[in-house]
Amino acid sequence: MAAVELEAVTKRFDNFVAVDNIDLEISDGEFFSLLGPSGCGKTTTLRMIAGFEFPTAGRLSIGGREIGLDPPNKRPVNTVFQNYALFPHMNVLENVMFGLLMQKVPKDQARDAAAKAINSVKLEALLNRKPNQLSGGQQQRVALARALVNEPKVLLLDEPLGALDLKLRQEMQSELKSLHSEVGITFVYVTHDQEEALTMSDRIGVMSEGKLLQVDDPTRIYEHPAKRFVADFIGEINLIEGSVDSSGTVRLGDEVIACASPAPSGSQSVTIALRPESIDLTVENERIGGAMNQIPGIVARRTYFGDSHSYDIETSGGTLSIRRDNRPLNTIFDPGQPVTVSWHPDASNLLED
Amino acid sequence: MSQTLRTGKWIDRFLRLNAWLIFAFFYIPIFVLVIFSFNGSSRVTVWGGFSTRWYPAVFENQQILSALKNSLIVAGISTVVSTILGTSVAIAIDRYRFKGRKALDGAIYLPVIIPDVTMAVMMLAFFAQVFRLIDSFGPRFQLGIYTIAISHIAFNISFVAVVVKARLGQLDPSLEEAARDLYASGWLAFRRVTLPLILPGVLAGALLALALSLDDVVISGFVNGSGGTTLPVYVFGAIRRGVSPELNAISTLMLLASTVLVLTSLFLQRDPKSKQP
Ligand SMILES: Nc1ncnc2c1ncn2[C@@H]1O[C@H](COP(=O)(O)OP(=O)(O)OP(=O)(O)O)[C@@H](O)[C@H]1O
Ligand SMILES: [Mg+2]
């Protein structure tokens, strides 16, 4: 059963469309990330699920029940806010107990449950501190405990690690991930950090300008982006124009190449997406077995990155950027040297705009 | 070059002197007032040695006591009512997007800026109309301390609203959302989160209202009718019969009271972020 379901949901602010006709089903227990650049409508989508905003059009259900215009306090979801939004006049324990008390859980029972939740985020020593006496990471944990203690059906997290420094961020990422598998609650996680989304999520929804462009698991999002925007937004990628003839054969410059999917019928040109690390380089005319795409090229530039070399290779279809790991026996190519560029057909994806 | 430097130095000196002069201008009259309230002589212009005898005398004067009682009643009522109404107005302006919000936001400053005399004339004209209306149904109403209280409420609402609105502006709106997210109804979110956080602002507004009500003479003087004399109105009337050491003593006490109220109000209006728990 779907934990959260959006059907043709649109949100307009005056005449500005912040969320544009989104369809989305998030499964029970899933770690789902909404990924996209600033202003693409991630927070607005999350706020509609939480009940802070109401859709202009479309239907929204949680746990199979349509929630329509239910206020936030009538929804089985809890939110971890970007700035934590801890109550400054309450200590850690009171913050975490708040949701339970509002649900009329008896006080001593609420206290026990809150203490347990605080233990699970390792803050048992700081029960009586006020939020302004806590570090950013500690505040983050309180915000998590305050939400999770209510055992919501869905936990909404809006860039919860945005304010933390890199090291703490990585630490919290793995903590969040293990917390997720412990509690088995559906997480909807908003981020504009692609690495965070790739490493943590079961599935990712990539958004741009209010539209949901692609929903897939991290591998497919990275290795088989469907849209130009998705390919470009996540990681480095070569985007090159190829031509298509009437029989559907795709060419890169003069060379015929095979791709992960057939070219859309009727099109004359396509955008081919190719990750720099999925391309191999060999010396000129050295043939490689199997069904690899092979095209000739010339090294235009080599850049040293410590763990790898980056090459710009000129081919008849344009310049390709290539990454090669720096292993002891790997050949190093010099500018001006003719080479063979090869890759598996599965690595070249044809993109829609 | 050196010429401009010298000029700069002179301007500097002048400004410093100016600051001291202004300081003196403010505080010398207060000094004179306070010192002469401890004057042993009953002639105000002649120093007759130190004495505290005018202070007990103030509290034996029946007219003063009755004026003080009126003042406290008016101040009490107008403070409580204007604090509740002013806070509600501030919340409405801060929170809700309704038709006429912008206009109300501007209008709320009106009583703060219009002259007291104008306000007094307005209130008087207003009461005259209302009384005419009420009188046509039978009962006869007259000016008195309740008309003073109503007038004080009218201007105090603004001061409370302005102070509370400033406090609300510093409040993170996601706090109330967090409360709603954690299953609090709209009322409980206000009661348990918003209100405790704006309480210093509400108290600051209340103290300011109290001080303004206790100090007001112009508006109270216009709308008091007979028997509705407040302390400042009494002092104003008495002074026309001549300054007395007793008046100096009352004035000193009033000065003390409003200084304490206003300082406490300012203390409560400090930026909450700079406050240590
Ligand atoms: N209350 C509002 N009134 C008008 N426009 C709004 C409102 N809330 C959001 N928007 C607009 O909707 C768009 C999407 O906003 P949203 O906050 O959802 O973006 P986001 O993807 O979360 O961005 P970020 O990564 O910067 O947080 C933005 O252009 C924003 O200006
Ligand atoms: Mg956002």
Question: Which ipTM did the prediction report?
Answer: 0.83
In a mutagenesis test of the A interface, which of B171, B181, B188, B276 is the best target, namely the one with the most A β-carbons within 10 Å?
Answer: B181
Q: Which residues contact A85 (CB under 8 A, 6 or more apart)?
A: A143, B172, B174, B175, B177, B178
Rounded CA gap, A117 and A145, in Å? 5
SS3 A13: strand
User: What are the structural domains, with CATH classification, of chain A?
Assistant: 2-232 (3.40.50.300), 236-351 (2.40.50.140)
- Name the band, by pLDDT with cuts 50, 70 and 90, for residue B231: confident
Count of CA atoms in the C-beta half-sphere (13 A) of B90? 29
What is the per-residue pLDDT across B31-63, written as a single tens digit (0 to 9) for each? 888 888 888 887 777 787 888 888 888 888 888
Does B184 sit within 8 Å of A85, measured CB to CB? Answer: no
Give ligand 1 pocket residues (Cβ under 6 A).
Answer: A 13, 16, 18, 36, 38-44, 192
Distance B25 CA to ligand 2 centre (A): 55
CB A36 within 8 Å of CB A204:
no
Atom of ligand 1 nearest to the CA of A11: 12
Please give the C-alpha separations between residue A2 and each of A11, A61, A154, A216, in angstroms, as whole numbers: 21, 9, 11, 16
Chain B CB contacts of A144 below 8 Å: none
Task: Look at residue B276 in the predicted model and tell me its pLDDT.
Answer: 41
Chain A's closest residue to B174, CA to CA, is: A85
Per 3-state DSSP, what percentage of chain B is helix, strand, and coil (rounded to 5)?
75, 0, 25
Angle subtended by helix axes B195-215 and B231-240, to nearest 10: 20
In CATH terms, B57-274 corresponds, of 1.10.510.10, 2.70.150.10, 3.20.20.20, 1.10.3720.10, to 1.10.3720.10
The DSSP result for B140-168, as a single string, is ----SHHHHHHHHHHHHHHHHHHHHHHHH
Give the β-pairing of A269-274 and A308-315. unpaired
Q: Copy the structure tokens of residue B211.
A: 């001080």
Rounded CA gap, B147 and B154, in Å? 11
Q: Give the distance from CA B165 to its chain's centroid.
A: 17
Q: Which residues contact A163 (CB under 8 A, 6 or more apart)?
A: A82, A83, A136
CB B196 within 8 Å of CB A130:
no
pTM for the model stands at 0.81
Which stretches in chain A have pLDDT values below 70?
Answer: 287-289, 353
Higher-confidence position of B137 and B256: B256
Does B178 sit within 8 Å of A85, measured CB to CB? Answer: yes
Q: Report the share of chain B in percent with pLDDT over 70.
A: 94
Domain boundaries, chain B: 57-274
Residue for token pair 């002891």? A328
Does A50 sit within 8 Å of B182, measured CB to CB? Answer: no
Task: Look at residue B271 in the predicted model and tell me its pLDDT.
Answer: 67
Q: Which helix (H) or strand (E) holds A53?
A: none
Tell me which residue has its CA closest to atom 12 in ligand 1: A18
Rounded CA gap, B58 and B42, in Å? 14
What is the per-residue pLDDT across A205-223, written as a single tens digit (0 to 9) for each? 999 999 999 999 999 999 9
